Amino acid sequence: MDFLSPDTWAGALAAKAARPEAVPVMGGTDVMVELNLGRRRPHALLDLTRVPELARWGAEDGYTRVGAGVSYTRLVERVGSRAPALAAAARSVASPQIRNRGSVGGNLGGASPAGDCHPPLLAAGALVELASAAGVRRVPASEFYLGPGRTVRREDELVAAVLVPEPRGPQVFAKVGPRNAMVIAVVSFALALDVAARRAGTGIGSAGPTPLRARAAEEFLAREFDWAGGADPSPEAARRFGDLVAGAARPIDDVRGSAAYRRHALAVLARRAWARCAAEVRGGGV
């Protein structure tokens, strides 16, 4: 197995152009599992841990740009308040040891429908920055995922960064699993509100072939939410919202849970997310 270890971003893009089949690896917390268990035998790995550009983050035109190699730990510590739902997801990923190595870029590269970062990126309206030796493009998260492990990223491209809009209201993330740590989500859900524009964004994880948005639920919440006062929703409105979120999911039965359970749990998470956002609006924390 060839091991390519460029130490600049330009070098990494040149390496990917020359060897498009090379599997990019950052912290290794996904790729190494597949290697160790013999599920994958790549001819070449493209190690990105020595590329300094990938570990950077900063403000950019109303967004926070987070380099694809920023570890979950660092994301929580440094970027947390600028991307609350993403930070909440980041601090629920796997275990502390994994969070010291794993990164959003790896989550996007792997594109598991159960990846924890996807629902917050969808809900917040984030952009994924893809780069190749030929150029850079930014794709809305809602157009990034194509299927389990499949995205619009071309073979010669690398995930460079995510751009998360500045928060304009409460954001929450929740997931269901047998315990806090080392869980592949049974389902996950993120909700991000834009109080000034009176808009809502949603993201559903682990309940379809790709992470999904619940657009009908977003429109319903935007109409029904008490934007001025943050009053709790009526039981009917909360139930309807939960049903719309559950209805947007396309879950299957698998070892982690049944489709019926996933729909049920999503509806519960969605109702709680509304209540938590409402409480935050009431508390004036926006």
Choosing from 52, 58, 96, 149, the residue that interacts with another protein (CB under 8 A) is: 96
**Binding flag, residue 176, another protein (CB under 8 A):** no
CA pair distance 192, 124, nearest whole angstrom: 6
Segment 49 to 78, residues that bind another protein, using CB under 8 A: 49, 73, 76-77
CA pair distance 25, 22, nearest whole angstrom: 9
CB of 37 to another protein, least distance (A): 6
Choosing from 135, 179, 235, 255, the residue that interacts with another protein (CB under 8 A) is: 179
CB of 275 to another protein, least distance (A): 15
Size of the site for another protein (CB under 8 A): 34
**Binding flag, residue 100, another protein (CB under 8 A):** yes
Q: Which range, of 30-38, 61-69, 103-111, 121-129, touches another protein by CB under 8 A?
A: 30-38
Reported for 6-11, long-range contacts at CB under 8 A and 24+ positions apart, including other chains, are 6/46, 6/47, 6/48, 6/50, 6/51, 7/50, 7/51, 7/52, 8/51, 8/52, 8/53, 9/51, 9/53, 9/54, 9/131, 9/160, 11/51
**Binding flag, residue 268, another protein (CB under 8 A):** no
Using CB under 8 A, list all residues that contact another protein.
1-3, 5, 25, 27-29, 32-33, 35-37, 45, 47, 49, 73, 76-77, 80-81, 91-92, 94-98, 100-101, 179-182
